[in-house]
A and B are shown apart, each in its own frame.
Chain A
Amino acid sequence: MTGDEIRGAVLRVLGEIAPEADLSTIKPDVPFRDQLDLDSMDLLNFVIALHEALRVEIPEADYPKLATLDGAVDYLTTRTS
Chain B
Amino acid sequence: MAEFLMPILGADMSAGTLIAWRKKPGDVVKRGDVIAEVETDKGLIDVEIFVSGVLEKIVVQPGQTVPTGTLLAIIREEGALETAAPPAPRPVAPPVAQPEARVVVPPVAPAPAGRVRILPLAKKLAAELGVDPSTVEGTGPGGAITGEDIERAAASARAAALAAPRAEFDREARMRQTIGAAMARSKREIPHFYLATTVDMDRAMRWLAEENLRRSVTDRLLYGVLLIKAAALALREVPELNAVWRGGQCLQSNAIHVGVAISLRQGGVVAPALHQADRQSLDDLMQNFRDLVQRARSGGLRSSELSDPTITVTSLGEQGVESVFGIIYPPQVAIVGFGKIVERPWSVEGRIVSRQVMTATLSADHRVTDGHRGGLFLAAVDRLLREPGRL
Contact = CB atoms under 8 A, between A and B. Distances in A.
A41 B212 contact: no
Interface stretch (B135-143, B147-155, B218-226, B236-244): B218-226
Nearest to A39: B318
B263 A58 contact: no
A60 B220 CA distance: 9
Contacts of B294: 45
A40 B217 contact: no
B217 A58 contact: yes
A40 B222 contact: yes
B347 interface: no
A59 B222 contact: no
A61 B265 CA distance: 27
Given A39-B263, A41-B290, A47-B217, A60 B222 contact: no
A23 interface: no
Interface in B290-311: 290, 293-294
A25 B361 CA distance: 39
B220 A57 contact: no
Nearest to B319: A39
Interface string A25-59: 00000000000010111001101100110000111
B249 interface: no
A40 B263 CA distance: 12
Nearest to A51: B217
B213 A59 contact: yes
Contacts of B289: 41
A57 B290 CA distance: 20
Contacts of A59: 213
Nearest to A33: B318
Contacts of A19: 265
A60 B213 contact: yes
A8 to B, nearest CB: 20
Interface string A46-81: 011001100001111100000000000000000000
A27 to B, nearest CB: 20
Most buried by B among A39, A45, A47: A39
Which 5 pairs, one residue from A and one from B, show the smallest C-beta to C-beta distance? A51-B217, A60-B212, A41-B293, A40-B222, A39-B318
Interface of A: 18-20, 37, 39-41, 44-45, 47-48, 51-52, 57-61
